[in-house]
Amino acid sequence: MSLTSKLTTIAAAGAGSEPDLFISSVRSTTSYPVFTDIDVDSSGDIVTVGVVNNPSGAGGSDALILKVDASGSILWSKTSGLTGTDVFNGVTTDSSDNIYAAGYITDGVTKSYIQKVSASGTIAWEKTISSARKSRLYDCDISTDENTLFFGGSSAQHNSGINTSADGFYWGKVNTSDGSSLVDYIEGFTYSQQCRCVATDDDGSVVFGGIAGYTSTGNMDFFLRASQSNIGSTTEVFPFGGQQSAYVADVAHGPNNKTWAAVSGNRSWYFNMTNTTINDDRINNTSNGRAYGVVTDSLGNVYFLSYVTSPSGYRHTYINKFDDSFNKLWSRKLRGVTTTYNVVPARIAISNDDQYLYVCGAEAVSLGGSFSGFIFKFPTDGSLTGTYGDFVYEDVFQNIGGTSRTNRTNISTRIAAPLSLGTPSLTTATFTPSSTNLEKG
């Protein structure tokens, strides 16, 4: 596959001649890679996952893993898939730099798919979670002791419940050693629901967040907090309403027992959850924003990721930093030099030393409307502004205002037996994009 990487390096203020920031855009006129999640391993390398139209792979669209170093140089990349559409939606890493990717593969039937890959790119194991009807995974995270991988998604496997024709809120876990010992559950509401994000904390709990179908037109954002040792015994369930098609896009645990969430709907909603207390605020006080990611640092600062659609209909990436009390510290926007290009984020990660943020997503800057994957590294102090290659990073002003939400009664029903666990037979392909330093800021 002909895939190239344009790496625009940016010399940070006070860093001398050595560039330590970058915007890397992985692109092709035929392959159109899109990145969906990102993580930083213990060595400081960046791992992103997604999907790419891979002519040398198994099908039209294959699940993609790409690994780059802290300077943006590509280390390795590969795809996996069957004959249909195959996607990785979530990724996490352990202290040995093993990579765990979760998504789905398709060969007549869509099946949840998990893959464990070594730091050098060798597949350690791979598992499908299959049923007679489709299932998909959207995120994953690893337990504190690194023995368990938690995942979340959706499944149409309904043996009983409120509405057997609607997708169920699906969550579960497997052993990290070999992918065995599947434990999973499905939560059923009146209409379709999905588990879109998963986050563990050091206190032994795990939060699954997503969307719950309350009515045909008014869904609610939904949390389910459980013990890492027993995810079927949930301690807290939080269904909230307030706007159509709201959902929890991402969750992150910070210091002081706070769980922060990026909640997406007609506006970008952010709030923190401490036990049963909800502090509810919104950013981008317009009707054209979408939340996508959230991450915290060791001091309790929290960083939210979203996009806002301009009046002319083009999307731009926004990053917002707040302290532990939700006081805004700075807001920045990443867009194309030409404002008619789309730069759409997916997820956000933070370096091990809290100095840098990494955002992945898709951009139409370089291909004139066709999306390519991008990774953007920038400082957590928000000091970077200016034009870098095809991109502009600038100060913006974000409106913040409180709002009321409705705590609706949990009407869910725990349904269905565990789905079957299998070992797939996939086609894997390796491609090595060429990485060229085109510019230095």
Across the range 47-60, mean pLDDT stands at: 75
pLDDT tens string 178-235: 998 888 888 766 667 889 999 998 888 898 988 876 655 556 677 788 889 988 876 5
pLDDT tens string 230-283: 888 765 666 555 455 678 889 998 887 788 888 876 555 666 655 555 556 666
Beta bridge partners of 135: 155
User: What was the pLDDT predicted at 412?
Assistant: 53
Q: Is the Cβ–Cβ distance between 268 and 279 less than 8 Å?
A: no
Closest to 333 measured CA to CA, from 392, 282, 285: 392
For residues 127 and 21, give the distance between their C-alpha atoms in angstroms, rounded to a whole number.
36
Across the range 152-156, mean pLDDT stands at: 88
Three-class DSSP category at 213: strand
Residue 429 has pLDDT above 80, yes or no: no
Three-class DSSP category at 435: strand
Closest to 243 measured CA to CA, from 271, 276, 268: 268
User: What was the pLDDT predicted at 272?
Assistant: 60
Closest to 98 measured CA to CA, from 47, 174, 37: 47
For the ranges 272-276, 294-298, 418-422, the one whose mean pLDDT is highest: 294-298
Q: How many CB atoms lie within 10 A of CB 52?
A: 29
User: What was the pLDDT predicted at 302?
Assistant: 92
**Structural domains of the chain in order of their starting residue, each with its CATH number:** 1-74+288-397 (no CATH), 81-241+406-427 (2.130.10.10)
User: What was the pLDDT predicted at 25?
Assistant: 83
Q: Is the Cβ–Cβ distance between 176 and 151 less than 8 Å?
A: no
Which contiguous run of DSSP H or E holds residue 196?
strand 191-200
User: What was the pLDDT predicted at 191?
Assistant: 67
For residues 176 and 37, give the distance between their C-alpha atoms in angstroms, rounded to a whole number.
19
For residues 405 and 375, give the distance between their C-alpha atoms in angstroms, rounded to a whole number.
34
Q: DSSP states of 127-173 as a string?
A: EEEE-SS-EEEEEEEE-TTSSEEEEEEEE---SSSS-TTSPEEEEEE
Closest to 10 measured CA to CA, from 364, 395, 391: 391
For residues 129 and 125, give the distance between their C-alpha atoms in angstroms, rounded to a whole number.
13
For residues 426 and 247, give the distance between their C-alpha atoms in angstroms, rounded to a whole number.
32
pTM value is 0.90
Percent of the chain with pLDDT over 90: 33
Q: Contacts from 72-75 at CB under 8 Å and sequence distance 24+?
A: 72/7, 72/9, 72/22, 72/24, 72/375, 72/377, 72/435, 73/7, 73/435, 74/5, 74/24, 74/26, 74/432, 74/433, 74/435, 75/45
Average confidence score pLDDT of the chain? 79
Name, in order, each residue with C-beta under 8 angstroms of 139's C-beta and a sequence gap of 6 or more. 37, 89, 90, 102, 151, 152, 153, 195, 196, 197, 198
For residues 150 and 198, give the distance between their C-alpha atoms in angstroms, rounded to a whole number.
7
